[in-house]
Structure formats: C-alpha cells, structure tokens
Amino acid sequence: MKKFVTVFLAVLLVFTFVSFAAAQESDPLEGVQTYDGSFKWVPGGQPWQLFIPHYDIGGDWWTGLVVHNMSGVACQFEINFCDNMGTVYGTLQDSLTSWEKTAWMLSYTMTGGLGTGWMVIESSQQLLGFVNYGTPASVTTLGPFWSW
C-alpha cells in the first residue's frame, strides 16, 4: 500500500509540474483559441494556481470540492473545468473572505456538461483544496492541494 501511495503521489506531482510548465509557455494570455475554435486553459494573470487532477460526475460517481482561503485578505478566484486536452468547458467565479472555506457538489451545469476532467483554480490569494469522490458504496478524499 505504501508503494502504491508513493507511486500515485509521484505521478500526481509530475502531471502537475508538466501541466503548469506547459501552460507557462503562453503566460500571460487569458486563453488560446485553437484551430477548431475550442478554448484552451493558460494562466490568466492571477498570482496563484491550484490544480485538481481529476473529477468525475458520470454514472454513479459524484465529486465534491472544498476550497479554503489561506490568507487574512479577501480572495477572488475562478475555477476552470477542463477536459484531458486542456479545453475549458465551464468556469465558476467566486470570492472568499479572509480564512473562509466553501464547498460544492459538482454538477454538469458547473462543468459545462463535462462528466470527467480536471480543474485549475486561479486566485488572488493562496488556496488550499480537497476533492471528495464517491459512489453509493464508497467515498475517497484527495488532498490537500496547495496553490502555487
């Protein structure tokens, strides 16, 4: 079990680093329109990014997201819901007061109709995030994820 957790964390860190490094090549654009007209996520100018590597709301699966402002200053943020190719299907903008925490149960309306994918949260202050996955028979928590 320890080896599985170590391998999972290594893959997660590599995925996060590669995704962030690739996105930095286009910084500070707010998006790139591709030849097929889709919108790909690239950093939008906020100083912090928080990557959540997976969500699933298809079939019997549900996903809950918790975001906590780790600052004594109010925070503006935007959640981008992306497919595996980085195409943005939905966005959610919100704000948190100092040290505030909020949670959502993801829905197709929030994600732009996408049942599985990954999220990046751009914010004006550092955030801490957790994601919960579940079926009627089980629940799994991933995190904490820190913005950087």
Amino acid 45: pLDDT: 73
* CATH code (residue 6): 2.60.290.11
- The string of pLDDT tens digits covering residues 38-54 is 555 666 678 899 999 99
Which among 98, 147, 89 has a CA at the least distance from the CA of 118? Answer: 89
Which residues form the domain of 44? 2-146
- The string of pLDDT tens digits covering residues 58-110 is 889 999 999 999 999 999 999 999 998 889 999 999 999 999 999 999 999 99
73: which residues sit within 8 A by CB, 6+ positions away? 98, 125
Name the domain count of the chain. 1
Alpha-carbon span 105 to 21, nearest angstrom: 29
Q: Is 20 helix (H, G, I), strand (E, B) or coil?
A: helix
Alpha-carbon span 91 to 73, nearest angstrom: 23
Amino acid 2: pLDDT: 62
